[in-house]
């Protein structure tokens, strides 16, 4: 998996703070931006987060390049609808000798790994043979979820908070959890105040919404507090 933050709103925290301040000020945004210093911005962002007033967060956007992830992951990723995605097309880009993701549970068991790699090799042969007689858009029907893909994804900060809440949870599937944790580290590097409280609700709110499916992490966190 290769993930990069390729672009983001310049000075995203100041933009968020100015957007929020505008609601209660007669001054234009450029003037507000000039007056905000780092301390004021950090304080403003923290206050917005504590109040749950997150609509100003939507003015800050972040663009990521994501490579070497599986189609299984990308199908989960696009369920986060308040975002924009561009993905390598299997209609127009042929997957000759495609790469694939090996789940850790399979990689740890030699017999499972051997079976998995045998299946991938056979699918590669079948795909290649189909390419010789049908269009790539039809040959792709035999490609597996393990087949790797590349995407560009754009999120606003509020949508990212929702993404991190759900996908850094230990109940999230391992691959998309790895992606979410990597993305969180990247955005914290450029907007630490926006994302200082990002993560699963057991960590950020002291509550778990998984019910009987809870991983038990909340109880361990409560134990540490006592």
Active site residues: 167
3-state secondary structure of 155: strand
Helices marked H in the chain: 12-22, 29-35, 38-51, 71-77, 104-107, 110-131, 136-139, 157-167, 174-190, 201-204, 217-225
* Residues contacting 93, CB < 8 A, separation 6+: none
In the annotated binding site for dUMP, the residues are: 76-79, 87-91, 140, 167
Could you count the other beta carbons within 10 Å of the beta carbon of residue 39? 8
* Residues contacting 191, CB < 8 A, separation 6+: 8, 12, 13, 60, 157
Asked if residues 96 and 128 have their Cβ atoms less than 8 Å apart, the reply is yes
Give Cα separations from 172 to 48, 141, 177, 215 (angstroms). Answer: 28, 27, 6, 10
In this structure, which long-range contacts are made by residues 125-129, counting pairs with CB atoms below 8 Å and at least 24 apart in sequence?
127/95, 127/96, 127/98, 128/96
């Amino acid at each position: 998996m290769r993930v990069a933050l390729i672009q983001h709103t310049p000075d995203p925290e100041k933009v968020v703070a100015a957007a929020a301040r505008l609601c209660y000020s007669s001054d234009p945004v450029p003037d507000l931006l000039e007056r905000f210093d780092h301390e004021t911005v950090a304080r403003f962002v923290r206050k917005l987060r504590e109040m749950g007033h997150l609509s100003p967060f939507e003015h800050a956007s972040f663009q990521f390049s994501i490579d070497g992830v599986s189609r299984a992951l990308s199908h989960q990723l696009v369920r986060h609808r308040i975002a924009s995605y561009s993905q390598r097309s299997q209609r127009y880009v042929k997957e000759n000798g495609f790469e694939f993701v090996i789940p850790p549970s399979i990689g740890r068991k030699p017999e499972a790994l051997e079976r998995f790699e045998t299946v991938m090799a056979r699918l590669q042969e079948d795909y290649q043979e189909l390419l010789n007689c049908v269009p790539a858009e039809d040959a792709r029907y035999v490609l597996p979820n393990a087949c790797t893909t590349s995407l560009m994804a754009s999120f606003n900060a509020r949508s990212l908070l929702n993404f991190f809440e759900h996908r850094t949870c230990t109940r999230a599937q391992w691959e998309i959890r790895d992606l979410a944790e990597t993305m969180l580290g990247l955005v914290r590097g450029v907007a630490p105040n926006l994302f200082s409280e990002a993560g699963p609700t057991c960590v950020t709110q002291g509550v778990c919404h998984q019910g009987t499916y809870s991983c038990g992490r909340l109880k361990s966190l409560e134990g540490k507090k006592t």
